[in-house]
Structure 1
């Protein structure tokens, strides 16, 4: 699919993988709406790319719709990349046998609300706008890429909420792709492994920590880069025969229990 001149929404687009995706989209002459909670970074990136920033909490349907409306103002909305998400680590039960020490149910609910429900909400609203596009010569009206995680398959100790949310994204990829095939919209999901983003901090201690993590990567023995993830996003968006698939981009890692 030719995305030149189209508009796109990237949730979680102000930093990390989302920002790398936004830059690679802009390099292809796509007008990008950076949809994020971080206004300072989001506005700066949108200005850099000649796009727009919309403050979006993906648990707020009205804010997602505002991003869809803004993207539609910039051009024909043909691209959605769902990169917004949070993590949480906590064991299912505590060590003292007290129910109060069990996994925080509110935290579990929040992770699922952001990572899974927020992803679906963005899909249904953006796809509705895409369905009104004129199809291209191949019958396509748009393409969607979701960001899951290898935790969907190799969840570690304490990752019940995160793995459940990302597993849900993987699980809905094919049925949503089947739903949207009727209007010429493709849906794929990428499951990143360990990616070198600001979440790991900076400095000597951070580098030592990342080097230790990289020991589990099959090859190359390092963390992935946001640009490597972004390039796969672009491939999924532009390759018209990519549909209904979840792709691991992880250097061959299979996460150990802890």
Structure 2
């Protein structure tokens, strides 16, 4: 996939992994549509990345109408959509039972699943419907690329991560069947499963927690960089033969129980 002059949607595109991805895509000549909830930050990102090639839409990924409006605004400004990178997500931590033996609120679990898993599916299905109507962008018949974001927690969820691990494990499970569903249309689907990345979400955790997490990274012994996530997005886009795959980006990390 030659990226120059193509259009990509990035959910959660105003901060963390999404922002790093948007910066890398714009640097490669891609027009970028940011889906996020932070209007103030959205306006700032459009100004930073350039108004001609950047669009911001206030979108809750769980909401079908908001996602479709964002897609329609993107096609109205830029034309065809060739890529979507789903980075929107939350990472709450709560044990199944608290110290008094009370069960975790069901609503907290449902919210995490809705944003991380259902939200990613919602965006992917609606963007895929738009991609399917477009002409192929290369001689191989490729029409588009969907990249979802899982986590190593989808494989090795830690104590207190029942909701988060379940949501990310669900994204891993979606990857191959979604790729198989869309293969006849020339739409690829891949997932990146990051380890401990230096995003605002992780950097908000206590310093002791951050040190404990990075201590289990094999090499290089540090937090991952959002720019390294963005670099992998670019490499997946460049290599058409990567399809139906979940790629760990974790420095050899295998998460301990806590």
Q: TM-score with structure 2 length normalisation?
A: 0.94
Unaligned runs of 5+ in 1: none
* SS at structure 2 position matched to 1:210: helix
Q: What aligned pairs does 1:237-248 form with structure 2 within 5 A after superposition?
A: 237-248=237-248
2:8–2:31 Cα contact (<8 Å) kept: yes
* 1:70 to 2:73 alignment: yes
> What's the TM-score, normalizing by structure 1?
0.94
Cα contact 2:84–2:145 (8 A) shared by 1: yes
Q: 1:180-222: per-residue Cα shift (whole Å, max 9, x none)?
A: 00100000000000001122448xx966653332111111110
Secondary structure at the aligned position of 1:189 is classed as strand
Counterpart-to-counterpart distance in 2, 1:253 and 1:201? 18
* TM-aligned CA distance change 1:208 to 1:158, over 3 Å: closer
1:140 matched to 2:142? The reply is yes
Q: Is the 8 A contact 1:9 1:67 kept in 2?
A: no
Name the Cα RMSD after superposition.
1.5
The residue number in structure 1 matching 2:43 is 43
CA distance, structure 1, for counterparts of residue 217 and residue 187 of structure 2: 34
Q: Name the CA distance, whole Å, in 2 between partners of 1:5 and 1:230.
A: 18
Give the deviation of 1:126 after TM superposition.
0.4
SS of residue matched to 1:127? helix
- Correspondence for 2:124: 123
1:102 is matched with which residue? 103
Moved more, 85-94 or 22-31: 85-94
C-alpha distance after superposition, 1:128-181 (max 9, x if no partner): 111111112110000010000000001001111100000000001000000000
Q: Tell me how far 1:103 sits from its aligned partner.
A: 1.1
Is residue 32–residue 46 contact of structure 1 (8 Å, CA) maintained in 2? no
Check conservation: 1:144, 1:237, Cα contact below 8 A: no
Is the alpha carbon distance of 1:200 and 1:171 closer, same or farther for their aligned partners in structure 2, counting shifts above 3 Å?
Answer: closer
Partner of 1:114 in structure 2?
A: 115
> What is the number of residues matched between the two proteins?
253
Q: Determine the structure 1 residue equivalent to 2:30.
A: 30
Match of residue 228 from structure 2: 228
For the residue of structure 2 that corresponds to 1:77, the secondary structure is coil
Alignment of 1:65-214 (within 5 A): 65-73=68-76, 74-97=78-101, 101-135=102-136, 136-201=138-203, 209-214=209-214
Moved over 4 A (4+): 205-209
